[in-house]
Amino acid sequence: MPKEKQELSDAMRRKLSVKSTEKKPINGTKFTIAISSAKGGVGKSTFATNLALALKKIGCKVGILDADIYGPSIPKMFGINEKPKSDGQKLEPIIKYDIQCMSIGFLTDEKTPMIWRGPMVTSAIKTFAQKVNWRDLDFIIVDMPPGTGDTQLTFSQGIEINGAIIVSTPQEVALLDVKRGIKMFDKLGVKILGLIDNMSSFTGDDGKKYAIFGEGGVKRTAEEFNKKFLAEIPINPEVGKSGDQGKPIVESYPENEISQIYLDLAKKIKSIYL
């Protein structure tokens, strides 16, 4: 290799090395787990809240960061209607069900649209990561917004994400976007723990199983991209009701079959990191 190209190659490697070391963990936390799907409407926030509660129930100290600036769901799903306290320097997370919570929804009226450009979103995300008094957490669960935009890039390039879980319905139109999300995390060097098939099927009063959104699509996608297939979570009306009431199903009905799926998944995650 010519000397000039060798020097250029070495310079690029040093630049990449510096960039990778710039990633910082969220203060007060051991492990950051991103819950993501490049597609909206697949139950990602429901998954994030119930996984956080399941981790708490098996003895972990857990926080949840609602990174969906334009459509925050955590205030509703946790039944939180108060604003976080601040000492002028840092925000205090709001604690509900022994989970430390933070969301832009705590700071704005729920009917107020967030008409923000990219730099404002990036600034808000950095504030939640760096200027919240997260305390002694084993895991912080990050509820990512749909898409592959500013929020995902801010987290993936500047914050140490220890693992990402991709949530999708088995519908092909959803999986088209999910595949873009998988490629994004791979390109940014974020480890994908695996894929979740959410709302995989519904069991009617007749006892028959109905695959409303198709069947097997998430598992096939996991195989296509050489990722783990973590679990199927069927449709259950109690999941939606519990979330709307501000007490997610893992908290309100821990013995429910859906709750047991989350608890089993939480045990797997705990075994990986702790």
Is the pLDDT score of 109 beyond 70?
A: yes
* pLDDT value at residue 173: 82
Segments making up each domain of the chain, as ranges? 32-273
Q: Which residues of 45-68 are buried (b: 16+ CB within 10 A; e: fewer)?
A: bbbbbbbbbbbbbeebbbbbbbbb
* 14 confidence band (pLDDT: 50, 70, 90): very low
Write out the two tokens for 201: 């099927």
Instruction: Give the Cα separation of 266 and 246 in Å (integer).
Output: 21
CA distances from 27 to 124, 137, 187 (A): 16, 9, 25
Instruction: Give the Cα separation of 174 and 161 in Å (integer).
Output: 24
Residue of higher predicted confidence among 267 and 20: 267
Please write the tens of the pLDDT for every residue from 114-147.
Answer: 666 777 878 888 888 889 999 999 999 999 987 7
* pLDDT value at residue 16: 41
Is the pLDDT score of 20 beyond 50?
A: no
* pLDDT value at residue 1: 53
* pLDDT value at residue 114: 67
Phi, psi of 64, rounded to the nearest 5 degrees: -130, 130
Query: Which amino acid does the sequence have at 27?
Result: N
pLDDT average, residue stretch 33-37: 93
pLDDT average, residue stretch 238-259: 95
CATH of 32-273, one of 2.70.70.10, 3.40.50.300, 3.40.50.720, 3.40.50.150: 3.40.50.300
Nearest to 144 by CA among 42, 239, 31: 42
* 191 confidence band (pLDDT: 50, 70, 90): very high
| Residue 210 near residue 202, CB atoms below 8 Å | yes
Q: What is the mean pLDDT of the chain?
A: 87
* pLDDT value at residue 152: 81
* pLDDT value at residue 21: 47
Phi, psi of 234, rounded to the nearest 5 degrees: -70, 165
Is the pLDDT score of 108 beyond 70?
A: yes
* pLDDT value at residue 2: 52
Nearest to 197 by CA among 235, 236, 232: 232
Q: How many CA atoms lie within 13 A of 270 on its CB side?
A: 20
Instruction: Give the Cα separation of 175 and 221 in Å (integer).
Output: 8
Is the pLDDT score of 38 beyond 80?
A: no
3-class SS shares of the chain: helix, strand, coil, % to 5: 40, 20, 40
CA distances from 163 to 91, 98, 102, 197 (A): 25, 23, 20, 18
* 4 confidence band (pLDDT: 50, 70, 90): very low
Write out the two tokens for 187: 């390109």
